[in-house]
């Protein structure tokens, strides 16, 4: 089959790789019809090379059609249309029972002391082959796949794999009071969707912060108040002025370690990527530092007694935190990988022809899988108005 493989820092290639096969009785093989490019994939492209091997198949936002099932699979059958959550979770352990599918005890990666395995996401999370490919092996096929109706285009449902539950959890964790205010830092796919979810869930004031024209305009067109980072020296003060002088009730950091700024830390991240892998892994596990401009802005801007929700991924083990400010302001912080299965039942009823979340036209680019290397480069550079990419293995529909 054809699949997008990692070959080195800023080097991904579509290659022929072996087709996946049934390995356990409860596996399924899914033929991928659409698969997303996520901002988190850029962490693999740019920073996390020491935890990857050449040939690793990337991607964690897939959906498709079941082609084959193992002998123990009864919940899905060949021909079923399914979305695959990015967490590899069993739905049966203690953690899954708590709705913490990102901490599934059946797939935790004990070698690195990390949570549930993820599709297409490094040795830190199980080195499970990903979904930017023509086919995908899906474990726990009785409980993991999300069966969706035939008929509507893939765009209606594919974001259940990551974007929708990540944005939904980010807003829920933000604990925005009814009629309250929320600022979303970063208007990439997750941040943009979070602004829509926050408005749907009752926030009266939704503010989006970014520095890319297309992202700002996209949020503005749906009623979000936007703040352009390029126009202000003190964005925290701008957010306070917009919210009665106190600051937003909640701030969602949808940026994470790709935050703009702090060039010295960016240099160190790149330098670590040039070290021999065993050395680089040790540096990143014990001394890694993220670019934290977005988080520091969140801490500065949120009102006293407010809540910060972290949806953006951080990977540093030695990140400095302004603990005096956090304590003095009595700030609450919630964070973590999205627990996809936890939120599906809340989101699925919204994926209708009325399309309140605007999923049907959420993708800005629909490309062949063969175009994936170009898309990674363009997305990393924030070029061509690229906000959300869907790859479609095989011919790309013209309409």
d(CA 213, CA 219): 10
Average pLDDT over residues 261-279: 49
CATH number, domain 2-162+339-392, options 3.90.180.10, 3.40.50.2000, 3.30.70.20, 2.60.40.1930: 3.90.180.10
d(CA 156, CA 174): 25
H-helix or E-strand spanning residue 343 = helix 340-347
Average model confidence (pLDDT) across the chain: 91
pLDDT band at 267 (very low <50, low <70, confident <90, very high): very low
Burial of 271 (0-12, 13-18, 19+ CB in 10 A): exposed
d(CA 219, CA 148): 28
213-220 vs 189-200: helix crossing angle, rounded to 10: 10
Q: What is the pLDDT of residues 338-358, one digit of tens each?
A: 999 999 999 999 999 999 999
CATH number, domain 165-335, options 3.40.640.10, 3.30.1490.100, 3.30.160.20, 3.40.50.720: 3.40.50.720
pLDDT band at 258 (very low <50, low <70, confident <90, very high): low
- Given a cut of 70, whether residue 395 has pLDDT beyond it is no
- Going through 211-331 in order, the beta strands assigned E by DSSP cover 225-228, 250-253, 307-310
Q: Where are the CATH 3.90.180.10 domain residues in the chain?
A: 2-162+339-392
- Given a cut of 70, whether residue 285 has pLDDT beyond it is no
Q: Which residues contact 106 (CB under 8 A, 6 or more apart)?
A: 89, 90, 92, 93, 140
Q: Where are the CATH 3.40.50.720 domain residues in the chain?
A: 165-335
d(CA 135, CA 95): 29
Please tell me the predicted confidence (pLDDT) of residue 46: 84
Average pLDDT over residues 17-30: 98
Find out whether 71 and 25 touch, Cβ atoms under 8 Å: yes
Q: Is 126 helix (H, G, I), strand (E, B) or coil?
A: coil
pLDDT band at 321 (very low <50, low <70, confident <90, very high): confident
Would the pTM of this model clear 0.95, i.e. be above it? no
Strand partners, 37: 389
Average pLDDT over residues 222-226: 97
Average pLDDT over residues 77-100: 98
Strand partners, 309: 252, 334
Q: What is the pLDDT of residues 103-118, one digit of tens each?
A: 999 999 999 999 999 9
* CA max distance for the chain: 62
Among 56-70, 105-119, 264-278, 365-379, the minimum mean pLDDT is found in 264-278
Strand partners, 389: 37, 365
- Given a cut of 60, whether residue 264 has pLDDT beyond it is no
Please tell me the predicted confidence (pLDDT) of residue 396: 52
pLDDT band at 280 (very low <50, low <70, confident <90, very high): low
d(CA 294, CA 285): 22
pLDDT band at 261 (very low <50, low <70, confident <90, very high): very low
293-301 vs 235-242: helix crossing angle, rounded to 10: 40
């Amino acid at each position: 089959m054809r699949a997008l493989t990692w070959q080195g820092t800023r080097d991904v290639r579509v290659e022929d790789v072996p087709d996946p096969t049934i390995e356990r009785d409860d596996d399924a093989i899914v033929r991928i019809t659409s698969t997303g490019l996520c901002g988190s994939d850029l962490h693999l492209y740019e920073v996390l090379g020491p935890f990857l091997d050449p040939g690793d198949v990337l991607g964690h936002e897939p959906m498709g059609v079941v082609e084959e099932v193992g002998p123990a699979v009864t919940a899905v059958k060949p021909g079923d249309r399914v979305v695959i959550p990015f967490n590899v979770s069993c739905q049966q352990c203690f953690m899954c029972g708590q709705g913490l599918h990102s901490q599934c005890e059946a797939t935790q990666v004990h070698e690195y002391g990390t949570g549930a395995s993820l599709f297409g996401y490094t040795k830190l999370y199980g080195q499970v082959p990903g979904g930017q490919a023509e086919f995908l092996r899906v474990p726990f096929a009785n409980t993991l796949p999300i069966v969706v109706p035939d008929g509507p285009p893939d765009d209606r449902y594919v974001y259940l794999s990551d974007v929708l539950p990540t944005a939904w959890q980010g807003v829920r964790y933000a604990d925005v009071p009814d009629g309250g205010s929320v600022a979303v830092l970063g208007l990439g796919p997750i941040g943009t969707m979070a602004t829509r979810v926050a408005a749907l869930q009752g926030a009266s004031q939704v503010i989006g912060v970014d520095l890319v024209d297309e992202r700002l305009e996209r949020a503005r067109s749906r009623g979000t108040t936007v703040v352009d980072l390029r126009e202000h020296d003190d964005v925290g003060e701008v957010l306070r002025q917009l919210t009665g002088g106190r600051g937003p009730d909640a701030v969602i950091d949808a940026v994470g370690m790709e935050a703009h700024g702090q060039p010295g830390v960016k240099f160190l991240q790149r330098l670590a990527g040039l070290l021999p892998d065993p050395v680089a892994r040790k540096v990143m596990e014990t001394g890694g530092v993220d670019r934290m401009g977005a988080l520091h802005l969140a801490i500065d801007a949120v009102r006293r007694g407010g809540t910060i929700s972290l949806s953006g991924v951080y990977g540093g083990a030695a990140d400095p935190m302004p603990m005096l400010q956090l304590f003095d302001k009595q700030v609450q912080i919630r964070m973590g990988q999205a627990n996809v299965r936890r939120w599906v039942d809340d989101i699925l009823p919204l994926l209708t022809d009325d399309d309140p979340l605007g999923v049907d036209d959420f993708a800005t680019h629909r490309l062949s899988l063969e175009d994936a290397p170009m898309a990674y480069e363009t997305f990393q550079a924030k070029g061509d108005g690229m906000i959300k990419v869907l790859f479609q293995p095989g011919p790309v529909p013209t309409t």
